[in-house]
Amino acid sequence: MTELTIGIDIGGTNTKYGIVDRSGRVHLQGNIPTTQFEEFQDYFDAMASVLREGIKQLPANSEIVGIGIGAANGNYYTGNIERATNLKWKGVLPLANMFTSEFGVPCILTNDANAAAVGEMIYGNAKNMKDFVVITLGTGLGSGFVCGGVLLNGHHGIAGEVGHTSVNPAGRYCNCGKRGCLETYVSATGIKRTVYKLLADHLEPSELRGISFDHLNTKMITEAALRGDIVAQEAFEYTGRILGMKLAETVVHTDPEAIFLFGGLAQAGDLIFKPTIRHMEANLMPLFRGKIKVLPSAMQNQAAPILGASSLVWDFLDKKKSVLA
């Protein structure tokens, strides 16, 4: 019997799903548009339907042992998505209970960055680590903490929101309602805002002057920087400086072995890693200097969110076994 898990990543635009084995092989995957459904129940029914179809296609000797879901504002303890600002369905969505009722297997829900952290531990570069942080750099900045080999969930199930620590209380407006949050500077959106700030402040010519805010993306900024564009290079230095300064604060909280950077911005390589590490070291309490690795995530592919979500189930089953043993 081959044990398989379902991994679901609920994004504001798309929901990705896949069926994954313990080694991380994705046997089947697909996606449905999250935005297409006015009613949450219709969305759930559509998801249940595509998953049932998927399960029918599996070999006879396979068994689904659980469902993992990563979603912004997913609460590990309640299994609910609560007050998500990126979804049109308001209130409390009891997703884990609904999937468990429908499929008769455990369903583990947490926020997408926490799922990325468990994914890094089960399939990625943190396989032999017990204390590390994953920073996801997408539309926003997410973070997941593993401490002593255990995902840090916190008392209310919402630990790991370092995207909403403060860079400048009078700074950029944030979706969360505050101003100056880290994610308004360090994320795919943050670096775009920085490029526009630099274009406004400075006189240097830049190939980015011809691109609208709506069209600008991390890949364009990265390529411009690699071609020597001064504004693009300065945008990475500015982003790395702020990320490095804030990571120095995160480090003294939980003392991790490593911090993994995940997402498009992390794929810019030295452009982002070099200033981040330099400014982290410069701002670290001396006791910690030279001790903390800043590394790229191993999960840099299309299936990463599915693997992260599916890893929640393996982690849950592993820990259950070790308690029962």
- Could you list the residues that contact its own copies (CB under 8 A)? 73, 83, 129-132, 145, 147-148, 150, 152-162, 164-166, 169, 176-178, 181, 245, 248-250, 252-257, 283, 285-288, 291
Contact 182, 142 (CB under 8 A): no
DSSP assignment string, 73-127: TB-TTT--EES-TTSSS-SEE-HHHHHHHHHSS-EEEE-HHHHHHHHHHHHSTTT
- In the bound state with its own copies, the residue whose beta carbon lies nearer, of 206 and 250, is 250
CB closer to its own copies out of 169 and 228: 169
The maximal CA–CA distance of the chain, rounded, in angstroms, is 66
Rounded Cα gap, residues 302 and 120, in angstroms: 15
DSSP letters, 131-192, are SEEEEEESSSEEEEEEETTEE---SSS----GGGSBS-TTS-B-TTS-BSBGGGTSSHHHHH
Residue 272 or 280: the one with the smaller Cβ distance to its own copies is 280
Residue 25 vs 130, nearer CB to its own copies: 130
Q: How far is the CB of 6 from its own copies (least distance, A)?
A: 26
Report the C-alpha dihedral over residues 29, 99, 4, 312, rounded to 10 degrees.
90
CB of 285 to its own copies, least distance (A): 4
CB of 85 to its own copies, least distance (A): 9
Which one, 16 or 241, has the nearer CB to its own copies? 241
Q: How far is the CB of 190 from its own copies (least distance, A)?
A: 16
What's the min distance (Å) between Cβ of 137 and its own copies?
17
